Amino acid sequence: MRELAKQEATQRILVREAMALGLDQDDEIIERRLAQKMDFLLADLAELEEPSESELRAWYADNTGRFAMPPRVSFRHLYFSQDKRGLDGARMDAEALLPSLAGTSADDPQLSARADRFMFRDYYGGRSPVEIAKEFGPAFAEELFKLTPDRWQGPIRSGYGWHLVWIDTLEPARPADFDTIADTVRSAWLDERYREIRERAYEEMLSRYTIVIPDPQTVDFTTVRPPSGSATGEPVR
């Protein structure tokens, strides 16, 4: 206990001596830390006000788009490899096959022999745009969700080559049920409340200051000190 008290006293003495020497002035690290502490204080003030359920429901009703469930697609595809056929060759082969698929069931076991073996899977069920983009790329995902169900379409390009696609189901984006995401809504409400309080506090603090931005042509940069913690104390030239 005595040693801890000594360490605490030593720290306080060093801090006071450093401040007496002005070492806290114009120190970027200290300034950043003080600004962070003010941010934390404002965050604490924002969290003091807990929203009621009726308030959250009303706010959610005005912001349903922020919490919408993403669209989802289930599809089968025939793959044409750009490594085996070349990029243009893969596209032309896919285009040549497409007309012959009219009226062909997506479950026809003979179809796979008319295309190339894909390294992952031939069928994807209930996938979101983000999930599709992770595997095939964002351009493929964007084009995929423009297609319509129950017929072969394409070709559309991925990072692997070209694909003919059969859409089984396409579920549009829909609002999430409030009861299932109440905690998420509450967190978003608090985040927005915090931003509002912080902005009002910033505006109030700014109103007490006059900000002067010097003309760069009039600044003597030979007197500018290097950032705190730099290896040299020489003026920047």
**Contact criterion met (CB below 8 Å) for 189 and 81:** no
Q: Determine the Cα–Cα distance for residues 164 and 54; give it in Å rounded to an integer.
A: 49
Give the per-residue pLDDT at 73: 96
CA 61 to centroid of chain Cα atoms: 23
The pLDDT of residue 36? 80
227 domain residue, yes or no: no
Q: Is residue 167 domain-shared with residue 196, that is, in the same domain? A: no
Counting residues of the chain whose pLDDT is more than 90, the rounded percentage is: 45
Can you give the pLDDT at residue 234?
Answer: 47
Q: For residue range 120-169, what is the model confidence (pLDDT) as tens digits?
A: 999 999 999 999 999 999 999 999 999 999 999 999 999 999 999 999 99
Percent of the chain with pLDDT over 70: 86
Instruction: Print the SS3 string covering 200-218.
Output: HHHHHHHCCCCCCCCCHHH
Residues 6+ apart with CB under 8 A from 87: 161
Other C-beta atoms lying within 10 Å of the C-beta of residue 42: 18
The answer to whether position 54 is within a domain reads yes
Question: Do 165 and 96 sit in the same domain of this protein?
Answer: yes
Domain-embedded: residue 216: no
Q: What's the structural domain count of the chain?
A: 2
Same domain, 54 and 80: no
Show which of 143, 171, 199 is a domain's final residue. Answer: 171
Long-range CB contacts (within 8 A, 24+) of 34-40: 39/198
Do 88 and 141 lie in one domain? The reply is yes
Residues 164 and 185 both lie in one domain = no
In this structure, are 109 and 164 located in the same domain? yes
Residue ranges making up the domain that contains 114 = 72-171
Task: Report residue 150 as tokens.
Answer: 């129950």
Query: Is it the case that residue 81 has pLDDT exceeding 80?
Result: yes
- State the DSSP string of the chain: -HHHHHHHHHHHHHHHHHHHTTTTTT-HHHHHHHHHHHHHHHHHHHHTSPPPHHHHHHHHHH-GGGGPBPPEEEEEEEEEEHHHH-HHHHHHHHHHHGGGGTT--TT-TTGGGGSBPPSS-SEEEEE-HHHHHHHH-HHHHHHHTT--BSSEEEEEE-SSEEEEEEEEEEEPPBPPPGGGSHHHHHHHHHHHHHHHHHHHHHHHHHTT-------GGG--GGGPPPPTT-S--SPP-
This model's pTM is above 0.75: no
pLDDT by residue (tens digit) across 223-236?
A: 555 555 544 444 44
Which token pair is 130? 């983000």
Residue 184 included in any domain: yes
The last residue of a domain, from among 154, 171, 188 = 171
pLDDT, tens digit, for every residue of 19-65? 776 766 777 787 788 778 877 777 666 566 788 899 999 999 999 88
Q: Mean pLDDT of all residues in the chain?
A: 83
Last residue of one domain, picked from the residues 152, 171, 190 = 171
- End-to-end CA, the chain: 51
pLDDT: which is higher, 69 or 202: 69
Query: Is 235 inside any structural domain?
Result: no
Is 92 in contact with 60 (CB distance < 8 Å)?
Answer: no
